[in-house]
Amino acid sequence: MTPLISSLAAWRELRSSPAWAGKSVGFVPTMGALHGGHRSLLERARAENERVVLSIFVNPTQFSDPVDLANYPRTLEADVALAGDRVDAVLAPPPEEFYVDGYRYRVTETEFSRRWEGAHRPGHFDGVLTIVLKLLNAVQPARAYFGEKDWQQLQLVRGMVEALFVPVQVVACPTVREPDGLAMSSRNRRLSDLGRKHAAEFPRALRTARDAAAASAYLRVRGFEVDYVEDYQGVRLGAVRIDGVRLIDNVRL
């Protein structure tokens, strides 16, 4: 049975045990509410490493909206079941384990993080980068796996790892999509049936519009609230709201 570890002390004891000594470790950090996209990350990690660690931690410091934090789905039992034998340990400590300092110490990137998601969610990437660095230091993996759906986050994590000399390989994994093209996301389960059907127009617009302005205009006409759509270095990034649920996505141009 895969161990569910709720304290960093217990994790350190396992990590330093003979069963883990000298083994390559793959790491998949998540906030839980796992879906097929997470499954693909775990399968990639399992194929490339001798040990696989999954973290499940709803990180409070990356939420600027307390209501969004409160509404984020927490499905630990189902998550552990989905992970199954793809992982050797599930790390799921409470917030006080990670924030013994009260979040006085944090990682801040001062340029790229201020755009797109950072512009609409102040402080979001401080929270993301801080918890990712804490997790990488705790897990000490050879490789860490991130989905390309969160493209801006992926670039920032790569930059942090390089800038701070963190000895880990950041592995980018393709976005996993539903049959209608909607990127798999924990937030999709909060959509109504009608909203879920309508949401598929979001990636379709990103993919087919002649430019970012046209995609944005189309989405607004179709009833989406558009935070941004922008083309950047061969990638079209977008964030919208529907049914009160915020969705992000990106496509290669």
- Strands 245-252 and 235-242 come out as antiparallel
What single-letter DSSP state applies at residue 211?
S
How confident is residue 199, by pLDDT bands cut at 50, 70 and 90? very high
Kindly state the percentage of the chain with pLDDT values over 70: 100
How confident is residue 185, by pLDDT bands cut at 50, 70 and 90? very high
CA angle 100, 103, 104 (to 5 degrees): 105
Residue-wise pLDDT for 49-88, tens only, equals 999 999 999 999 999 889 889 989 999 999 999 999 999 9
Check pLDDT > 80 for residue 166: yes
CATH number of 186-246: 3.30.1300
Q: Do domains 4-173 and 186-246 have the same CATH topology?
A: no
Check pLDDT > 90 for residue 191: yes
Count the Cβ atoms, other than its own, within 10 Å of residue 45: 25
User: Can you tell me the distance from the alpha carbon of 160 to that of 67, in angstroms, rounded to the nearest whole number?
Assistant: 29
> Averaged over 188-203, what is the pLDDT?
97
Quote the pTM value.
0.97
Report the number of secondary-structure helices (H) and strands (E) in the chain.
11, 9
Check pLDDT > 80 for residue 11: yes
* Domain 4-173 of CATH type 3.40.50.620: yes
How confident is residue 167, by pLDDT bands cut at 50, 70 and 90? very high
Burial of residue 151, with CB atoms counted within 10 A of its CB: 0-12 exposed, 13-18 middle, 19 or more buried: buried
Catalytic residue list: 38
Q: Which amino acid is at 30?
A: T
> Averaged over 2-28, what is the pLDDT?
97
Full DSSP string of 62-97 = G-S-HHHHHHS---HHHHHHHHGGG-SEEE---HHH
Write out the E strands in the chain: 4-5, 25-30, 51-56, 89-91, 143-147, 169-173, 225-232, 235-242, 245-252
Closest CA to 23 of 143, 135, 198, 162: 143
Closest CA to 251 of 172, 146, 171, 151: 151
Count the Cβ atoms, other than its own, within 10 Å of residue 60: 15
Check pLDDT > 90 for residue 1: no
Contact 69, 63 (CB under 8 A): yes
Q: How far is CA 248 from CA 131, 203, 209, 215, 239, in A?
A: 21, 9, 17, 14, 4
User: Can you tell me the distance from the alpha carbon of 149 to that of 209, in angstroms, rounded to the nearest whole number?
Assistant: 19
Residue whose token pair is 């093209």: 181
Mean pLDDT score of the chain, rounded to an integer?
A: 97
Rounded to an integer, what is the distance from CA 16 to the centroid of its chain?
A: 27
Q: Which tops the pLDDT comparison, 1 or 245?
A: 245
Burial of residue 128, with CB atoms counted within 10 A of its CB: 0-12 exposed, 13-18 middle, 19 or more buried: buried
Q: Which amino acid is at 207?
A: R
Residue-wise pLDDT for 87-120, tens only, equals 999 999 999 999 999 999 999 999 999 999 999 9
Domain regions of the chain by residue span: 4-173, 186-246
